Each structure stands twice: as C-alpha cells, then as structure tokens.
Structure 1
Amino acid sequence: MENNYLLADRYRIKNLLGEGGMANVYLAHDEILDRDVAVKVLRLDLRNDQETQRRFQREAKATSELNHPNIVSVLDVGEEDGMQYIVMEYVKGEDLKKYIVEHFPIPYQRVVDMMEQVLSAVAHAHAHGIIHRDLKPQNIMVDEKGNVKITDFGIAVVLSDNSITQTNSLLGSVHYLSPEQARGHMATKQSDIYSLGIILYEMLTGSVPFEGESAVSIAIKHFQNEMPSVRDYDPRVPQALENVILKATAKDPSQRYAAVTDMAADLKTSLSPKRAGEPKWAPDNSKDLEETKVLPAIAAANGLTPETAEAATDNPNNTDEKDTDEKSPVRKTKKPRKKRPWWFWASIAAGTIVIILVAVFFLTQKKDVTVPSLAGMTQAQAESTLKDADLQVGTIEKAYSEKVEKNRVIRTIPAQKLVIKQGSSVSLVISRGKKGYKLGNYVGNSYTTVAETLKKAGVKVKRAYANSSTVPSGEIMRQSPAAGKTVIPGDDTVTLTVSRGKRQITLRDLSNYSKKNVQDYADENGLNVTFREANSSTVSAGLVMSQDPAAGTLVTADTAIVVTLSAGAKQVKIINFVKEVKIPYQAPASSSSSISSSSSSDQSGSDSESSSTSSASSGPVPNNIIIYIEDRSHSINTVYRQFTITKDTPVELPFTVESGQSARYRIVRDGSTIDEQTVNP
C-alpha cells in the first residue's frame, strides 16, 4: 500500500514497518480515535493461497480472543477489495532480539522481570487453548518504558535457513525449536516452554545455545546435544536461575515444567539467597528418547535426500567418513550387510497397513466448504445460511461500523470465499451501528478549538451567534445537545452558540419620543438611560427635546445615554409699564436765530420762549425723530414710532416685559442717536 492510503475510511497509512513471509506491517494513524496503530496486511502474492488465508484468519481470531497487557492487542479485523488486514496496537520500541544486542549484559533482575512478563502472557494464551508455536525474541516487543508484549500468534514465517515447515504446518524458527517439533510431532504447551527456556538462555548469554551450517544440523542438536551451561559462560549466574533453563529445555517434554505458571513460580525465586547452593538440575534419563527421525519435508527444505538426511543424523557435524578413515592410521574394513530378519518384513507389512489406514482416514475426511457471503444479513439470516452450508455458528462478536446497519453482519471469521472443512465454525461480527461520540461540556471554550475536535471525530457542527456582555467574543455560550449526550458521527449535528461580545447599536433619533417609548428602546438594546427635563415653547410637554450621544452614534450595550424631555413652555409674569422721555428740539446749524435760541434754551424757560417768539416770525425748521424700543413684543431693530418736532416734546414709551427682565429704547434725531437707555419696570 502507498503512504497516505486511507484503509477502511479510517486508517491512514504512514509508512512500512516491516515485511514478513505472509504479511507486511504498516504504521498507520486511526483518524477516528487519533492514535497510531500497526496494520498487518496479507501479502498480495498470497491472497489466493487458501492455506495462507486460513493462517491469517487464525491469527486474527486467536489474538482477538486474548486480552493481556503483555500481548499486542488486536483492535480491528477486516477485508477491503480482497485485501485482508489486522489492526493492532502500535508498540513504539524494538524487538527483544535487538534489545539484547544493544543492552547486553542485562542485569539478572531485569532479565527475570522481563521473562516474568513474557511468561504471564504465554500462560494467558495457554489458558485460552492457544499455543504460540513460534516464540522467539523477534516476536517479543519491548516498548520505550521497558514493558514487553508478545505478537505474531499463529502466523507463518518466511522459509529460510533458520525456519522449517512440515506439510505446511508452522514449526517456528529453528534456533528456538523444541526437539519434538524437529521430529515432526505436534507442538504442545511444553513446546512453547522449551522456546521460553532458549529465550532465557539468550538473554543471559547474548547468543542462542545451538548454531550450525543449516537448519537440519541445528534441529538435530536440539534433540541430540546437551544444553550448554549458562554458568560456563558466566559463573556469576545463580545455579537456581540456570536450573530454570535446564528444566524448561529438557529433551523429554514430560520432564519440563507442567505449565508456564510453574516455570514463572520457579523463576520468581531464582535470585533468592535462600536458594544459594542449589544443586544443578538433571533430567531423569531412565527412559530412552525416541529414535532420531528427520522428516522428508525437513530434508527437502534443505536440499537433502532422505539418505543424506539419515547420514546427517548419524553424523551431525557433516564429516565425511571416508576422509576420516583415510586420516586414520588403521583403515577400517566394511562389514558385510546382514540378512534381513523376519521381523523386518513384518514391520514393512505393518507400515503398509498404516499407510492404507491413513489413506482411508484422509478419504473419509470432511469435504471442503466455501464460506458464504453473509455481509448485510441479520444474525438469524446468517445462522440459517451457515446451517444450509453445513457450517457451525461460532462466536458472535459486536463491532461498530460506519457502513453496515445496526444488527447486520459486518464480516465473518474466516472471511467469505475462504475454503474450510465441512462442519467448521464460522464466527459472526455483528454491527453495533455507527460508534457514538460522547459530548463534553464545551461552554466557555473557544469555538475554533472545539469545532476542530468535533469535525475530526466526524461530528457535524453548526454555529449560531448571540451577543453577550459577560462572555468574550468567540467563546461558546450554549451547546445542543447538552454535555454527556452521545451523538452519531456523520448523522447528528451539534449546535454551538458563540458570543459576539457586547452588541453594537446605532442610536436612533429619539426626538418627540415619549418617556415610555425611550425606556422600551433602551431596555430592548441594553442601554442605560437617564432622563432630564427642560422648558420648551416648541416641543410638547413629555416629549424628547434632545439626546446625548446624538442620533446615529455607534454604541455598545450598557452604554449610558441622557435624554432631555420637554416640560412645556415656562409660565412667566408679564409686566406693563410706561417710560416718559422728553425729546429736545434742535434748530438746524444754518439758522443763527435758531442757534441763539437753542443756546439760551438751557439757561431759563423764559429765555427759550422769547427765542421762540423771535424765531416764529421766520418759522422753526422741524427735527425728524425716530424711536426704537425692545421689550417682549418689539425688537430694537424695528422702528417703533417716527415723527417731527419743532420744539422740545415729551413722549411716553409703553413697555411689556416678563418678570425679572428689562426693556430698552433708542431715540434718533435727524439721523443722530441722542438717547439710548435700558429701563426696568
């Protein structure tokens, strides 16, 4: 698969972690749960190999049944476009093989601690009837905290010089292979215990106990050679600890630990001072081991004929007898072949009978059946279909699915189209429907952060706005559904009400509004209003005369505004009074008699009369008089009265003023102001 490929609409492939004999393992990111996972995908060239597919399905089924902190968890199993895959937890670290190389020598207590974790995991698997069959440091992961996790349950490994198979049955890596597996016998729980003893040996010495030029020579050493002493390599190793290895790797399975838990209990006290001076454990050799056999499959895997395989068994070091004889001072003489005894032929006859019985056994074996396609069926429909196909219903598992309707079959284990034996069990994976997403309490959080998290989980998000004087802009004020509720990604929508902050308002022109209208407007927009009053002769009482701030000003909620209401026209007292003014006559400058008369008029009244009498004969020239007044009814710029005089003339000027106010007048004679005064009542 290419990097960035999205598997099952969920797992984004990041890079290749490793390639195996059956499958490739990729690092991927679970985009729903936001975590890294390991995805094991069946190799493209093996997808049509039914046996390989069965092994792959067996691993998925076996591991999914195990739930232990020291076993790599299977998170999901599926098939996409004919591509079978297993999703497992991603262990960030290295395998035990590499750990031994980088950290050797490992402190004894650390070795015991790590092995106790491995033994605990294997004991859990054995309790579920699962035998690993391929325990080796390469299948044990060590995370960054030093914890160990076992992986690769039931999966085959690539054939190489260090791996052997028998009739397509996995036996495991030859360096950790039990003697009974090397002979072609079925693997048992004691076979796993043997492998665990080899692993413990390697952790203490940094190497495996048996090496050879080929897989066959190494396998032969497992059931022929004694286990090398750990204390020969490191005398400081307590004898009790070496005894754990010796008992776990006994050639006879019956002399090994009866169970992994027994081995764990023995290992736990192996460093105790109470066990100091413990004698070296030795197996009971009263019973001879079974005669060494090398199966044709083993020989063929290593390019040997049965004859050369037998020779390799007799001579595990592959030395040439002829060469040995030539080097010997005394040349050996070949012994003549003895005549076959009667029991030899009887054994051949018995072998023939066995072959016939085996043939009959295989001929009467159950027929192959193809797993039908059950995807989308109800459980009842699927069970009925399996029954019609002569298959049994296995376990019923529940899993979330983005595509398959609730209570419908997602997939089967083994997968559809795989060929299995008649009467075999087929497990059903039933959809729980789409996985729900539990909502948190998002009130008071940033909308941007919350929306990003929800969208990443596939939840639809709707944003609404509201103003608030207490919640800052951009923060969530309300949510629907409420915290703690569960929504379905892709189907349900979460509405988040986001604060705009304080509301901004453009002030309306409140002129001629009543006090109630102004208060309603202020309450509606969150404004604080203060009322004042003033007299007005133009605005009716009770209506707005003015406002501050002015109309059109942009403000926010809680802004204070001042509104002035009209108190009506001011009630005033009107005063009428009269001012008497005497206007003096002045003769024009061209008349001497007038001048003389005018000059003497100020001295005495009798003189003025005589002057007037004297000028009467010639006739006086009249003065043009203009009077201006200013009071409640008149303006100083408007002529109040205009007339002429030929003598001093008294005039009464009427005024109308408001209480406390004054009036004014101006008298102009022949274009010149002769009198201007302010007068009071």
Structure 2
Amino acid sequence: MDTTVADPLVGQVLDGRYRIESRVARGGMATVYRARDLKLGRNIALKVMHQNLAQDDDFVRRFIGEAKAAAALSHPNVVAVYDQGTDGHHVFLAMEYVPGRTLRDLLDERGRLGPRTALEILQPALAALAAAHRTGLVHRDVKPENVLLTDDGMVKVADFGLARAETASKQTKTGLIIGTVGYLAPEQVVSGHADVRSDVYAAGIMLFEMLTGHQPHQADTPLAVAYKHVNEVVPPPSSAIPGLPPQLDVLVTRATGHDPARRPADAGQFLAAVTDVHATLPPDIDHRLQNAPQNVTSVLGHAPPPAAAPHTRVYQQPDTLPPVARGSFMDRLIDTVTGRYALIAVGALAVVVLGWAVWYQVSGQYDSIPKNIIGMSAEQAKTELAGNGLTVQVRKGGYSNTVPRDRVMSTDPAPGTDVKQGTAVTLTLSKGPYPREIPDVSGKSQDEATQALKDDKFEVGAVHREFSPTGRPVPKDQVIRTDPPAGRSHQPDKPVTLVLSNGVQLPDLTGQPRQSAEQQLRALGLAVKVEEQEQDGKPPGTVLSQNPPGGTGVNPGDTVTLTVQKGRDCPWWNPFCGNGNNNDPNQIPVPTVLGRSVDEARNMLQGAGFQVDVRHQIGSGRVLRQQPANGNAPRNSPIVIWH
C-alpha cells in the first residue's frame, strides 16, 4: 500500500456514497483507493483520475465512453466496473475490490516462474482478454501490473479500455504515444494504432517475462526500448533459460511477431494454443527448472542491463522516431531478421554456452549457497550469505513443523547450488508450526489443563481469574475457558491463556427482605442458614448482615449465613405469614426477579420451587413484571413473568 505521503482524499466521501478509506497505489493516470460503498455496504476499489486529466474535457468524454464499455463486460476473470461519476473536480471509477496482489508483485518476489505456473496464470488472463475481444473491446495496456492474483487463487485482469481514453486524448492534442513501453507492439510505437493483436503481442511479452524474469527488450531510456520493439525480434525464452521446452519458444515468437497478421488473430486463438502447450508439459517441469542457471548473455549477444524503466510510459511523437522505424526499409529489415532467426539463435546460443563455461572456469566468481542455512535466523543467514558475496531478499513462507517461526525454511536457489557472486538469494522464513484445534479443558484444574495442552503440543501462557458465570457455575480454581477458545485453530508455538474460576460472586444482600435473599442464594446453588437478632429501626425480616460478605467468591453447595431482623416480612394479604412463621408448609416465598434476564429469572424461580410461565410484552430480554411479585405462593405453582 502506498502510504508515503498523506493523501487529502482519504476520509472523504465522493458522490455522497463512496467513503475513501486508504490509498492502494498511484499510477500515471489515476490513484487507486480502497473505499466503502455506503449504499450497498461493500468494499470497492475507487480509481480517481489525476487532476490534469480530469480537466481535459476530451479525455473525460472518452473516459466515460470506455468505462461504459468496460462495465458491460461480464467475465469471472475481469475486474468488474460498477459505476463511473464525478464529484466536483474529481472524476472516478468504482470497481470490484480484489484483495491479493499483482503479477508484478509475484515476479518481484520470485524473479521468474516455472512453465506450468506461467501458463496457468496466462490462461485465465487470456480468457478475460478473449471475452473483451469478442465484444470489440481492446485492452491496450496488458502488463503484469494489470493482472491481479486474488487471495483465493483467481486471476483477474483490470483496466479494460481505459488506456484508449488517455491515448486518444493525448494524441488528439499533441500527437504523443502513451503506453507501458515494455509491452508496446511495434504498430503502437510507429502509428499509435492498436487492435486485438496488439493485446496478443503484450501477452507474449508478459509470457517471456514470466519465464525468464526480465523483459526481452531493455535499454537505458524508454525511447530506446520502444526502438527495439520496432527493430529487433523477441528472442526465444530458452535463450535465457536453457531447458525450456521448444513449444514455449513457439508461443512467444508467434505472439510477438512484428507483422500483426502473423500473430494469433485474437486472445481466444492464443488461449487455445497456450492450452494445448500446457497439456504437453511434464507435471514436474517447474521443479526441474527451478534451479536452472540463467544465461548471462541473451540471444542478441548482450547482457540484460538492470531494469531501467520497464513500467514507465513513453511520450514520443512519431515524427521523431529513427527513420528505420518506418516505411519499406523497416519491412525489409523485419523480413531479414525473421528469415535468419534460427541461424542467429543457434550461433548466439553456442557463443553463450562457451563463454559461460570459460568464464566459470577462469574467473572464480561463483560460490555455493551454504547447506547449513536452513534453520538459521534471517540475520544469521544474511551475514552468512553476505560473506559469500551474495545479496539477500527475505519473504514469509508457509507453516513448518520442523523449522521454528522466523527461521529459514528454504532458499531460492536451493542450498548447495553454485551461483555467481552478487546473485540475489531469496530466503523463505517459516511461519511456525501448522495450526491445530485447541482442546476443551474447561472444568479441569490448572495442572490438569496445563498437562492436557502440553500433550497436544500447545504452550501455556498467562493465567487469569474471574468470577464464574451464574448460569453455568464453575467451582473455584477450575478452568472456565481458554483464550483463544476451545475448538479454534491456533499455532502451537503461540501461548494459550487459561481463565480460572474464582467461584460464583456472592451478591450483597444487606437490606433485602429475608425471603428474597434466601431465594437468590438457593438459585445460585448455595445452602442458607438464618440467624435472627434485633436492631433498632429495621423492619422485621430485613437482612442485617451476611457471611461471607457480598463480592466474595463461593462454590455451589457452600453455606451462606444471613443475619435478619426478628420477625417475618409479611405482605398484608398473606394470612399464613406472621411473627416470622409460615403456618402453611405448602406456601413458600416468591423471589423478586424484576430487571433480571429471562434465563436468570427462570433459574431463580425454578430453584425456589416454582414453575415459570414466560410471556412476551416488548421483547426487551429483561423481566418487566411478574405475578405474583412477592410474598408466598403454593409450591410448584406457576409464576408469570413478562419481558
């Protein structure tokens, strides 16, 4: 995520509907934000055009037209366009939010991909392009940055048709060519014209890059790269990665032919060829080629320089291109290069192999990746590799039951491989052991629970205490729950917290009527002992004190002693109640449950010896009234509560 500068749009709501939450990326044409669609309650990607383009009326008109065409394109491998609009001087596009990363991110991480992996990414991308081509829509900006890889393994292509709005607008005003230079077809460089076969060319360049880890045409300036697209053929990828099957060379060279008529007619035709080649690849080819050395020299006879500006856009008037880029001379040159292609490739490859072998024997600039690097910390591994003249990249990997968290679980190239000094070695760090379900240790003692967790290879962390819930009382010093809870997947090397019971929290009953206090205690599973004494100014039957006091933790079955004022608290209407005696053994006190939850009230009343009739009033979940509300009632008689 691009967070290098504060963005004034973050936090704003566009069109009264789209709340911008964070900036994702900034490109040459627009800035992309993660936003929330307040109307539909979903996350979206919001592409907001840069101010200089938003003020160009011709661009805005074309942009709206292209956005409508893209919105009509429905395909599972296409990033959906939901809406287009303006808010003041902001012109924006609302699109499907795709969590994950781009193909560019993957290439930056891995360098290059195996043949099967490359074709398995290219196939759905071509399926998306084919759907667009069938409707007459040309993408015009096919590149790894516009191929999105979702968290659940889907491949989606973004930004359909948007390059046309920008290109057409700029050409109308200044005659400039705009495009991502590393993927421009020759006809786009020469005339600015693009059709479905231009998308095929860009897809062929993208396949070359996935297989080799770099673009076929590289130079110090964008103009020089564009010149090479016009005047040099794309070499076969096997010239850079020996051992690649020849059918992959055919896919690349056919798709990147200078003459559009000699390329596959559209993405659908290219997809069919890619699918056929994928079916012929051995299942283990990616593994076999994982550590294949990459040629120092390309088929064109020069070492690929560092990527100077592969993702920049080139702004160049056609009239300033070198003369060789236009007219019949260019056509003759293309024919010449094409006709001698095989001879050049074989000769150059022989020179490459011979030069590489001599250099390897003479220079002594190769070293081995240490075999003991697995299990080292990242810092240890960096120090070890730096001492061998190698550079290091680090990435998070997967789970491992043998390599501890944040230790090296694999390297690319693999340990023991001979590599040139200065080579970048990717360290993959372990995320720790595979997650497993936490066992249920509720009701166990601390020692029993600790042992049960250790038996399942979990680490026990902190121990907390709290009062037991009244609805499910847990005795003192037994486990109420774990954090994370039982059944949750959790990595064994991350600690599990035990929560122990302090018992049921005893309520403060001082000042309450005796019968209500007794019933509350019995509902908690406690035994009650009553002692009477006299205290001036207190009504008969009032609780004067209790032992243990309120707030104490007790276990079910414990005895609580209530000291009450002499005399029974009697309602005026109860003829059986007087002087602290109840003359009818079938009449028992009714506890007051007003304000309690329905479950609490039911437990208290049933614990006191009554049936419970629950009735709906407003559905508050709390008891609003009861009948009878206090006094005595026959044992097992119904008490009606409303909530």
TM-score range, shorter chain: 0.3 to 0.5
TM-score (norm 2): 0.44
Q: Counting strand residues as a fraction of each chain, which structure ranks higher?
A: 1
